[in-house]
């Protein structure tokens, strides 16, 4: 009896092991399928015109996403300019100045804010900027992306700052410098790798965000025309072209997806390198 029981347990163990590894294999396979298809399509349709030409009207051959790529860069810079000071200072507050209750509340708010669907952030930016100013604008899109960025930057900054040993802070203070100088001159440099990693992750996240741009940036066939005018963005154009019935537009959507994937995966791999080096 115990012999049979043992065999049964052994076989059950084996079956569950196979199922678990199968699950991991399936997840990786899906990843490889999506990535492989995007890269294959991208290589087929990506060319120099895609980078250097503006969009052409329906039916005209050629054309590219130059304006949208440039627009995305502007939005990333704008959002980072708004979000980095706030996110970094909030991270510093959480790790260096906050009492336990205050820290709990702010951390909670940041985590909840990070979980707000990006489409809702878009509606919010529309309500506070587009509606009162009666115009879609690069500014409103930048603010929407900044709202998405802030909690990511704040939490990763906090976590890396807290890894800096207290002895460093004490040593700095013992030299007689003020607390703010100790933070800026000693603690932040000590956590720099982690902070930069967090910033890069946040940039990777907003580079591909589309939902909050639909009714803030709107898209524009012209290049950058000022912060208070609509602006084109790469992910938005990929979406519009993908949903269009025209073959050449869909092919351009794939070329755009290829470029965006390279950017985002490039950042991911760089981040991994950075954090591995930070650990060793």
Partner 1 sequence: MVHKGRFSDEIFSNLALISALLIVGILLGFIIILNIDAMPAIRKFGAAFIGNSSWDPVKESFGALPAIYGTLLSSTIGLLIAVPVSLGSAIFLTEMAPSWMRSPTSFLIEMLAAIPSVIIGLWGLFVLVPLVRVHIESWLGDKLGFLPLFQGPPFGVGFLSAGIILAIMIIPIITAMSREAIRAVPSEQREAILALGATRWETIRQAVLPYCRSGLIGAVILGLGRALGETMAVTMVIGNNYTLTASLFSPGSTIASKIADEFNEATGEVFIGSLVELALVLFAVTLFVNVVARLLVWRMTAMKADKE
**Which residues inside 241-270 make contact with partner 1, applying CB under 8 A?**
242-243, 250, 253-254, 257, 260-261, 264-265, 267-268
> Using the rule CB under 8 A, which residue among 117, 165, 189, 226 binds partner 1?
117
Q: Find all residues with CB under 8 Å of 194, minimum gap 6, and list them.
A: 156, 157, 159, 160, 161, 163, 275, 278
- Asked if 229 contacts 210 with a C-beta cutoff of 8 angstroms, the reply is no
34-36-37-41 Cα dihedral, nearest 10 degrees: 140
Determine if 118 is a binding residue for partner 1 (CB under 8 A).
yes
What residues from 194 to 213 belong to the interface with partner 1 (CB under 8 A)?
204-205, 207-211
Q: DSSP secondary structure string, 208-265?
A: T--GGGTTTTB--SS----TTS-B--HHHHHHHHHTSS-HHHHHHHHHHHHHHHHHHH
Of residues 128 and 171, the one with the C-beta less far from partner 1: 128
**111-120 contacts, C-beta under 8 A, 24 or more apart:** 111/151, 111/155, 113/147, 113/150, 113/151, 114/148, 114/151, 114/152, 114/155, 117/211, 118/144, 118/148, 118/209, 118/211, 118/212, 119/211, 119/212
Of residues 64 and 96, the one with the C-beta less far from partner 1: 96
> Using the rule CB under 8 A, which residue among 39, 54, 73, 215 binds partner 1?
215
Report in angstroms how near the CB of residue 33 gets to partner 1 at its nearest: 8
Part in contact with partner 1 (CB under 8 A); list of ranges 67-75, 123-131, 190-198, 220-228: 123-131
Burial 124-142 (b: 16+ CB within 10 A, else e): bbbeebbeeeeebbbbbbb
What residues from 39 to 68 belong to the interface with partner 1 (CB under 8 A)?
none
> Using the rule CB under 8 A, which residue among 47, 178, 221, 225 binds partner 1?
178
Report in angstroms how near the CB of residue 146 gets to partner 1 at its nearest: 10
Determine if 235 is a binding residue for partner 1 (CB under 8 A).
yes
Determine if 144 is a binding residue for partner 1 (CB under 8 A).
no
Report in angstroms how near the CB of residue 249 gets to partner 1 at its nearest: 12
Determine if 162 is a binding residue for partner 1 (CB under 8 A).
no
Determine if 9 is a binding residue for partner 1 (CB under 8 A).
yes
> Using the rule CB under 8 A, which residue among 47, 52, 180, 221 binds partner 1?
180
- Asked if 46 contacts 177 with a C-beta cutoff of 8 angstroms, the reply is no
Determine if 239 is a binding residue for partner 1 (CB under 8 A).
yes
Report in angstroms how near the CB of residue 92 gets to partner 1 at its nearest: 5
Alpha carbon 64 to chain centroid, angstroms = 24
> Using the rule CB under 8 A, which residue among 44, 189, 225, 272 binds partner 1?
272
Determine if 141 is a binding residue for partner 1 (CB under 8 A).
no
């Amino acid at each position: 009896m115990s012999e049979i029981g043992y065999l049964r347990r052994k076989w059950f163990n084996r079956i569950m092991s196979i199922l678990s590894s199968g699950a991991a294999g399936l997840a990786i396979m899906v990843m490889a399928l999506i990535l492989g298809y995007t890269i294959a399509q991208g290589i087929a349709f990506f060319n120099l015109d895609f980078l250097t030409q503006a969009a052409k009207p329906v039916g005209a051959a050629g054309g590219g996403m130059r304006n949208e790529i440039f627009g995305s860069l502007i939005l990333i810079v704008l959002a980072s300019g708004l979000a980095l000071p706030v996110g970094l200072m909030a991270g510093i507050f959480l790790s260096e100045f906050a009492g336990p209750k205050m820290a709990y509340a702010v951390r909670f708010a940041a985590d909840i804010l990070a979980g707000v669907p990006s489409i809702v952030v878009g509606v919010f930016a529309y309500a506070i900027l587009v509606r009162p100013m009666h115009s879609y604008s690069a500014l409103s899109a930048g603010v929407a992306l900044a709202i998405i960025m802030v909690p990511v930057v704040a939490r990763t900054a906090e976590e890396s700052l807290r890894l800096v040993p207290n002895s460093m802070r004490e040593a700095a203070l013992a030299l007689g410098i003020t607390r703010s100088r100790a933070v800026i001159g000693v603690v932040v440099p000590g956590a720099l790798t982690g902070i930069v990693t967090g910033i890069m992750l946040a940039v990777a996240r907003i580079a591909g965000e589309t939902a909050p741009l639909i009714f803030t940036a709107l898209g524009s066939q012209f290049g950058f025309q000022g912060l208070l005018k609509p602006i084109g963005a790469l992910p938005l154009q990929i979406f519009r072209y993908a949903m269009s019935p025209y073959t050449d537009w869909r092919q351009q959507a794939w070329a755009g997806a290829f470029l965006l994937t390279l950017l985002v995966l490039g950042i991911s791999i760089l981040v991994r390198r950075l954090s591995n080096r930070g650990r060793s």
